[in-house]
């Protein structure tokens, strides 16, 4: 009986000791917490420090470590706080209060200007009661970033984050305007922000007039022209201007007076600079031309300096003609817009199957493919592959689409490495016949239901028969689509033939449509029409939809039926 009694006594004493130790930890923790609540952070750090050490009898190491870090933070010892918070994350990764740790750590990073680390930690916070505070900290953090380029890098890291995008847009308005105005506009469009949310610089007042002046700076090169019926070297430019002149006459008949004045750029940047010294150009309402990028640079600067709206090249899809002036516009949709709209088309008609993208090495192909891929990701489309096709690797298109794995008894491929009906669509961002012809021929060989999207310029090339496009159901972006039955087209053609004795070219038709658009828009909205203009139908084309990227947001898509182009989607 003596031995069991001794064991019981030892056990009783051990329990008393353990209870006393536990009570001592509890007492120390309460004392440290009272010091913290009283704002005595220096003493609370000292009191919490021994409790941060792990001990089997100590129930408070996580809490003591957190309050130790909080005390250090409030004393301004950010480095000490960070070290302790990182230690908590490492030692206690399953602690149920880890969101509080992450919030404090994010605040420490934010205070030190470590933007990416702070955002990364904030993204780990899940507790609903802390999410709102985390978002507010995120907004404050981003608002304190002064460098526009840093915020651009943040947006690259978080491309779908509207809070980051809004912070970047505000930064641009405050620190990088007007140099980054075009990028600001792209953010407005991409994230559907309202311009009223931002304190934009005060713009110019749009003036209403009885008569407007349009100055066309075009490479007519008068000194090189010969008085002969033969086609001129710059016939496309001449056709464009003749179409514009005919439209000015049409506007006059309608009571919409527009004075069209021609200036010869001579295809020479120095000549353009001399023209821009003419005082009369500062009084113009709209500038048109000079069509080529080198000559356009001084005109873009002139447009920005004098706040005159400019269409540097009415027949171009290049957003390069927007750089340098936030008063510059494209009459056509940009390559980027065509890419985005193509992705939206596929999302509407082939949302559940993957898409393959092919594009060439030139900048316009790269821009279109990049915009397509970005919009595709936003819409949840699966891009199976996006491949740049080099000039010495055209066969890559064939190898991706046509690599057979099975043959029938006639040695005809019946199955492929890319299995039949596994693909929904092919986006070809190129006018290179050696790229698009291989894609089209591969789809014919496969004979599965793949949606091929290309550009209307393919129809002008002879490398693929029009009947093949119709057979496979190819679709083409066609910004200048005009139904052949359009009465306005017939009137234009008759008038043009009567005046010039020849059938109008595509350039003459675009010049006519462009000038009508300018004249009607000026008389409806004034010389700074961009402040109030809205989507408008075209006279012969489908129309114009203004958008923040300052190009035409309307992209018609066509297909062939019985050899004739028709709209793929009717509006």
Q: What is the DSSP string of 436-450?
A: HHHHHHHHHHHTS--
Q: pLDDT value at position 233?
A: 85
Distance CA 371, CA 307 (A): 29
Mean pLDDT for the stretch of residues 241-245: 98
Look at residue 121 and give its three-state secondary structure: helix
Does pLDDT of 7 surpass 60?
no
The pLDDT of residue 183: 86
Kind of pairing, strands 425-429 and 451-455?
A: parallel
Task: Give the Cβ contact number of residue 52 at 10 Å.
Answer: 21
* Best CA proximity match to 416, nearest among 398, 438, 434: 398
Please provide the size of the chain in residues. Answer: 571
**d(Cα 413, Cα 405) in Å, to the nearest integer?**
7
pLDDT at 248 over 50: yes
- Other Cβ atoms within 10 Å of 223 Cβ, number: 7
Question: In 3-state terms, what secondary structure has residue 415?
Answer: strand
Q: With 0-12 CB in 10 A as exposed, 13-18 as middle and 19+ as buried, what is 20? A: exposed
Cis peptide before 223 (omega within 30 of 0): no
Query: Given this model, what pLDDT does residue 40 score?
Result: 92
Per residue in 178-235, pLDDT (tens digit) is 668 778 888 998 999 988 888 877 667 889 999 999 999 999 988 887 777 778 788 9
* Interval 260-268 mean pLDDT: 96
Band of residue 532 on the pLDDT scale cut at 50, 70, 90: confident
Q: Please give the domain boundaries of the chain with CATH numbers for all domains.
A: 12-197 (1.25.40.10), 207-223+232-332+486-533 (3.40.50.2300), 335-478 (3.40.50.2300)
The pTM (predicted TM-score) of the whole model is 0.72
């Amino acid at each position: 009986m003596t031995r069991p009694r001794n064991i019981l006594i030892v056990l009783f004493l051990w329990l008393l000791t353990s209870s006393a130790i536990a009570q001592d930890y509890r007492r120390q923790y309460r004392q440290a917490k009272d010091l913290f609540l009283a704002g005595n952070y220096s003493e609370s750090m000292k009191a919490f420090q021994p409790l941060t050490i792990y001990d089997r009898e100590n129930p408070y190491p996580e809490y003591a470590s957190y309050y130790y870090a909080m005390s250090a933070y409030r004393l301004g010892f950010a480095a000490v706080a960070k070290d302790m918070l990182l230690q908590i994350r490492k030692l206690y990764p399953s602690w149920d209060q880890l969101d509080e740790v992450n919030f404090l750590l994010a605040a420490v990073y934010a205070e030190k200007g470590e933007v990416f680390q702070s955002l990364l930690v904030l993204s780990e916070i899940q507790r609903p009661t802390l999410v709102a505070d985390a978002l507010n900290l995120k907004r404050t953090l981003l608002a304190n970033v002064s460098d526009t380029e840093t915020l651009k890098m943040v947006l690259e890291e978080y491309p779908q984050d509207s809070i980051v995008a809004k912070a970047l847009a505000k930064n641009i308005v405050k620190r990088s305007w007007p140099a980054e105005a075009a990028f600001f506009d792209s953010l407005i469009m991409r994230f559907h922000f309202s311009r009223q949310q931002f304190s934009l610089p005060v713009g110019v007042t749009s003036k209403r007039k009885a008569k407007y002046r349009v100055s066309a700076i075009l490479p007519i090169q008068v000194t090189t022209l010969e008085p002969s019926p033969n086609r001129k070297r710059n016939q496309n430019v001449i056709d464009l201007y003749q179409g514009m002149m005919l439209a000015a006459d049409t506007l006059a008949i309608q009571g919409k007076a527009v004075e069209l004045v021609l200036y010869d750029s001579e295809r020479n940047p120095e000549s353009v600079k001399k023209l821009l010294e003419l005082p009369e150009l500062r009084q113009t309402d709209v500038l048109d031309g000079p069509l080529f990028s080198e000559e356009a640079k001084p005109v873009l600067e002139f447009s920005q300096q004098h706040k005159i709206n400019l269409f540097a090249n009415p027949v171009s899809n290049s957003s390069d003609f927007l750089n340098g002036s936030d008063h510059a516009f494209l009459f056509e949709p940009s390559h980027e817009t065509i890419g985005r709209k193509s992705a939206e088309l596929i999302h509407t008609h082939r949302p559940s199957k993957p898409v393959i993208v092919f594009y060439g090495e030139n900048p316009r192909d790269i821009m279109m493919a990049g915009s397509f891929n970005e919009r595709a990701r936003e819409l949840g489309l699966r891009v199976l592959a996006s491949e740049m096709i080099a000039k010495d690797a055209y066969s890559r298109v064939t190898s991706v689409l046509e690599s057979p794995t099975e043959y029938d008894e006639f040695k005809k491929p019946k199955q492929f490495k890319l299995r039949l009906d596994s693909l929904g669509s092919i986006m070809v961002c190129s006018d290179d016949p050696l790229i698009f012809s291989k894609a089209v021929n591969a789809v014919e060989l496969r004979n599965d239901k793949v949606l091929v999207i290309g550009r209307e310029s393919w129809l002008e090339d002879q490398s693929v028969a029009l009947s093949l496009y119709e057979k496979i159901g190819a679709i083409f972006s066609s910004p200048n689509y005009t139904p052949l039955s359009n009465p306005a087209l017939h009137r234009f053609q008759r008038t043009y033939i009567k005046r010039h004795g020849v059938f109008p070219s595509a350039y003459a038709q675009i010049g006519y449509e462009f000038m009508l658009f300018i004249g009607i828009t000026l008389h409806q909205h004034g010389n700074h029409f961009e402040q109030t203009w809205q989507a408008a139908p075209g006279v012969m084309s489908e129309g114009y939809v203004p958008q923040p990227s300052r190009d035409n947001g309307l992209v018609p898509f066509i297909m062939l039926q019985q050899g004739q182009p028709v709209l793929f989607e009717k509006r």
